[in-house]
Structure formats: C-alpha cells, structure tokens
C-alpha cells in the first residue's frame, strides 16, 4: 500500500470523518426515546385516571355492575399501555443497538492484526463512497455497493431513501409527503427555526387546492360571489395553516394571499414567480438543505472533502507540465480523470527537497547521488549504471547519447 497509516493516524482520521456515522443513528435514538416517553406518559395518565375513578367508586357504596365496567376499563387501559410501551421501547432498543454496532465497528480500526486493519480501511472507503453516491442520488448503485461490501448497517441508507421519496413527490408537484415530513420532524425543525416555517408556507402556496379553486371560481362565478366565497375558503385555510407564521414570514403570507386575486396564468410578478414551475426545483433544494441541517450534515459528502484534501497533498506542478515527460503512471494526480478534478485545488506544500530518479523511481540522496547529463536532465547514479552500455548512456527523455563520464554530480542542500 502506498499510504501507510499508523494506528494513531487512523484515530485522528476517525475524529474528523465519523461524526455523521454516529450522529445520525443517535438522533434517531433520541427521537424514539422522546416518542416513547410521551407515549408512556400519556398511557400512564389514562391508567391512573381510570384507576382513580375505580378507587372513588369503591370507597362509596360500590354497585357491582358499575365496578365491573370500571374494572373492564382499567384492564383495557392497562393493555393499551403495555402494547404501546412495548412497541416504543422495542424501537428504542433497535436504535440503541444500531448505535452500538457502529461504535463497535469503529473500534476495529485499532485491531492488532494488519489484515483486520486493511479490511477496516477498505470498508471505510466503501462507507464514504456509499454516502457520497446516496447524496448524488445514485440510489441503486449505493445500495448494491453497501450490500456487496457488507456495510449496510454502517451507512445511513434509510435517511436518504426517505429523503428520496419526498424529493420524488415534490418533482411530481405533490406536497403531501413533504408536509408529512415537516410534521414528523417538527420539534427539531422548530429548533432550527427560520427555515422550517418558510418551507411549510412555500409548500402551502403550491397546494393544488388553491389553484383548483381559482380556476373553478373564475370560470363559473361572478366577481362579487367569488370574492365572498374565496374569502370564506381562504380564511379557513389560512387560519389553519398560517397561524404559526411569525414576523418576516407574514410578508410572504400576504404575498401568497394576494395571489388569490389573480388567475393562475398571470403575467404579473411577483405572483408569476410564485406559480412558476421552477419554484418546485427551489423547493427540492430547500428541502435537501433543511434535511442535511436537520441531521447535522454538511453540504458536501465526507468522501468529497477527504478526496480534495488527499489530491492536494499529492499534487505537484509536475503533474500539470505542458509536455508529458513528467507524468508518472503511479501518481494518482497524473491519472486522467483525477488530473482534471485536481486542477482547481491547491498544491502540496513542500518545505524540503525530495528527489526521485525518473528512471527507477528510487530516491536520490547520498546513497544514490543525483547526476546531471550535459543536456541538464538529472538521474540517479544507480540508474545511470544500470542503463550504461559500452560506456554510453541514452537520456530516456530526450534520447540524446552521452558518455557515462560526462555525467556531473549535483549537490542538493
């Protein structure tokens, strides 16, 4: 392997790369814990209530029939509590086990056996690639790769598949799935404040019910009646969905309400913009951004960031020389696609010289001193020895022929 990472270096890489690996299942665990607590509290209070009623009845001249019916009630509430608690706790348990499996996997980076470490490193790269592919939207590839590599548990596939469903429904210009997602995550979205409500409001703008009502009204009803009816409808819908609008968002709400007065194919902006199909694309972007933030993920995959850092660390000016004599087939940055990708990236920083012989790839130092041929090209002494024939050498890069004795030593400090 060209790059040898020590155990300490692997640990350091964990710290900067594995936040998403653990945070996403943790957030699920947290969410399920809260849901379980809520369910348990709710059912517990139901039980306590019916039991209190029973106690009251018992303490004051109980009648057999009423006691029996109250007892039935208690049994029913207890069963409900048992069932719901069991379900919620099982879901929590699954989440906790998933967190544990991932942590166990991460610990394997410090295994004693080199073969084990190599397997872990390969899985690491596959994990990051799968998440990158999921972000790009290449779901089939990602799932297949995860399966073949045996890392299905270790990557956040569900999160991205859920997002995929929402995005696909938005592409079909349907808002129901996205609104359901907002509702499902409303407590966390609320913590993130601003964006969430904007998202909901924009969604509601696009609610097809508005458009349908419009078209109907305009076709069949006189203006006066239309206004009355629209007022009626819009007030109800508005009250229901826009009641939580705050401050600056009210402006958007007003804009949307204003839209009610215009036909659906209006040419007047900003109303035209509000109905533009491109808004759906913006919604998808907005959703994606909010989804990443919700799970505390950045906008770029860890894979992309790692690759950029890695290419920069290898990149030298020689990878981009006009003539192709400097290309080294082993250098990743010299390979076709990576060469184009690495072009806008910063180069490696080298404070000290390091020289390698173009012929053998051997390091040139006091054991293999660099020798300059009369044409200015430098090679290692050992390599010149190996290509020497009849006391002559042919420069591999210019094909000029020189005497071996013409090579001069150069001194690198």
Partner 1 sequence: MVLNERMIDTCTHWVQDADLSVLSQTMAQCCKNIKETVQLLASRHKDIHGSVSKVGKAIDRNFDAEVSAVVAETVWDSPERQKYLSETIVEHLYRQGMLSVAEDLCQESGVVIDMSMKQPFLELNRILEALRMQDLRPALEWAVTNRQRLLDLNSTLEFKLHRLYFISLLNGGITNQLEALQYARHFQPFASQHQRDIQILMGSLVYLRHGIENSPYRSLLETNQWADICNSFTRDACALLGLSVESPLSVSFASGCMALPVLMNIKQVIEQRQCSGVWTHKDELPIEIDLGKKCWYHSVFACPILRQQTSESNPPMKLICGHVISRDALNKLTNAGKLKCPYCPMEQNPSDAKQIFF
Interface of this chain with partner 1, residues 124 to 143, rule: CB under 8 A: 124-125, 128-129, 133, 136-141
The token pair at 163 is 């997002």
Rounded CA-CA distance 291/181 in Å is 10
List, in sequence order, every residue forming a beta bridge with 66; answer none if it has no partner.
none
Residue 247 or 376 with smaller CB distance to partner 1: 376
In the list 239, 240, 267, 349, the residue contacting partner 1 (rule: CB under 8 A) is 349
- Stretch of residues binding partner 1 (CB under 8 A), selected from 153-161, 175-183, 191-199, 316-324: 316-324
Q: Does 250 bind partner 1 (CB under 8 A)?
A: no
Q: How near is the Cβ of 165 to partner 1 at its closest, in Å?
A: 17
* Interaction between residue 114 and partner 1 (CB under 8 A): no
**Interacting residues with partner 1 between 63 and 102 (CB under 8 A):** 64, 67-68, 71-72, 74-75, 78-79, 81-82, 85, 89, 99
Binding residue for partner 1 (CB under 8 A) from 230, 284, 378, 394?
A: 378
Cβ–Cβ under 8 Å, residues 167 and 192? no
- Using CB under 8 A as the binding rule, the residues of this chain from 26 to 55 that contact partner 1 are 26, 29-30, 33, 36-37, 40-41, 44, 47-48, 51, 54-55
- Cβ atoms 195, 290 nearer than 8 A: yes
Q: Does 399 bind partner 1 (CB under 8 A)?
A: no
Q: Does 300 bind partner 1 (CB under 8 A)?
A: yes
Backbone angles phi, psi at 392, to 5 degrees: -120, 155
Among 191, 239, 247, 411, binds partner 1 (CB under 8 A): 411
Q: Rule CB under 8 A: choose which of 217, 303, 393, 407 binds partner 1.
A: 303
Q: Which of 121, 193, 156, 395 is nearest to 295 (CA)?
A: 156
Q: Is 302 in the site for partner 1 (CB under 8 A)?
A: yes
Structure tokens at 41: 């509290």
Residues in the chain: 413
- Other beta carbons within 10 Å of 383: 20
| 13: nearest Cα among 3, 2, 1 | 3
Shortest distance in whole angstroms from residue 211 CB to partner 1: 32
Q: Does 247 bind partner 1 (CB under 8 A)?
A: no
Decide: is 294 part of the binding site for partner 1 (CB under 8 A). no
Alpha helices in 185-321 (DSSP H): 186-191, 194-205, 208-220, 223-242, 247-259, 271-275, 278-294, 302-314
Q: Reduce the DSSP state of residue 391 to 3 states and report it.
A: coil
Distance of closest approach, residue 160 Cβ to partner 1, in angstroms: 14
Smallest distance from partner 1 to CB 79, Å = 8
Q: Which of the ranges 158-166, 202-210, 287-295, 345-353 carries the binding residues for partner 1, by CB under 8 A?
A: 345-353
Q: What is the dihedral of CA 63, 69, 73, 79, to 10 degrees?
A: 120
Residue count, binding to partner 1 (CB under 8 A): 126
Q: Which range, of 203-211, 226-234, 264-272, 315-323, touches partner 1 by CB under 8 A? A: 315-323
Angle between helices 157-171 and 176-184 (to 10 degrees): 140
3: its two tokens: 């790059």
Q: Which of 116, 150, 258, 346 binds partner 1 (CB under 8 A)?
A: 346
Looking at the Cβ atoms of 23 and 227, the one nearer to partner 1 is 23
Q: Using CB under 8 A, which of 216, 261, 363, 401 touches partner 1?
A: 363
Nearest one of 334, 341, 307, 300 to 318, comparing CA atoms: 334
CA angle 119, 125, 126 (to 5 degrees): 85
Residue of 101, 3, 5, 91 whose CA lies nearest to 314: 3
Q: Out of 18, 167, 252, 290, name the contact with partner 1 by CB under 8 A.
A: 18
Question: Cβ atoms within 10 A of the Cβ of 169, count?
Answer: 17
Is 389 a binding residue for partner 1 by CB under 8 A? The answer is: no
Q: Is 318 in the site for partner 1 (CB under 8 A)?
A: yes
């Amino acid at each position: 392997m060209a790059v040898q990472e020590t155990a300490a270096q692997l640990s350091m890489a964990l710290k900067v790369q594995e936040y998403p690996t653990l945070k996403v299942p943790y957030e699920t665990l947290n969410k399920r814990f809260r849901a379980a607590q809520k369910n348990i509290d709710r059912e517990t209070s139901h039980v306590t209530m019916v039991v209190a009623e029973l106690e009251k009845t018992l303490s004051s001249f109980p009648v057999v029939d009423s006691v029996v019916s109250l007892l039935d009630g208690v049994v029913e509430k207890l069963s409900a509590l048992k069932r719901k608690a069991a379900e919620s706790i099982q879901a929590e348990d699954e989440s906790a086990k998933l967190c544990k499996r991932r942590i166990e996997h991460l610990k394997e980076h410090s295994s004693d056996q080199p073969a084990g470490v190599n397997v872990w490193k390969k899985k690491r790269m596959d994990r990051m690639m799968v998440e990158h592919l999921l972000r790009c939207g290449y779901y089939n590839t990602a799932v297949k790769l995860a399966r073949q590599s045996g890392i299905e548990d270790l990557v956040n596939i569900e999160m991205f598949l859920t997002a995929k469903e929402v995005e696909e429904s938005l592409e079909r210009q349907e808002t129901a799935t996205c609104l359901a997602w907002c509702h499902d995550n409303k407590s966390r979205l609320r913590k993130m404040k601003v964006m969430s409500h904007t998202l909901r409001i924009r969604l509601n703008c696009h609610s097809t019910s508005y458009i349908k009502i419009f078209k109907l009204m305009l076709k069949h009803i006189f203006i006066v009646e239309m206004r009355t009816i629209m007022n009626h409808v819009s007030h109800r819908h508005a009250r229901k969905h826009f009641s939580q609008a705050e401050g600056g968002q009210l402006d958007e709400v007003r804009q949307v309400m204003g839209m009610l007065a215009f036909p659906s194919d209006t040419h007047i902006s900003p109303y035209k913009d509000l109905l533009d199909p491109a808004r759906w694309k913006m919604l998808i972007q907005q959703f994606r951004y909010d989804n990443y933030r919700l799970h505390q993920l950045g906008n770029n995959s860890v894979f992309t960031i790692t690759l950029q850092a890695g290419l920069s660390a290898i990149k030298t000016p020689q990878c981009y020389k006009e003539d192709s004599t400097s290309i080294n087939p082993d250098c990743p940055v010299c390979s076709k696609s990576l060469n184009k990708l690495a072009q806008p990236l910063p180069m490696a920083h080298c404070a000290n010289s390091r020289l390698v012989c173009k012929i053998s790839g051997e390091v040139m130092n006091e054991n293999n001193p660099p020798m300059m041929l009369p044409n200015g090209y430098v090679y290692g002494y050992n390599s010149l020895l190996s290509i020497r024939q009849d006391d002559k050498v042919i420069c591999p890069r210019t094909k000029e022929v020189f005497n071996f004795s013409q090579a001069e030593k150069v001194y690198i400090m």
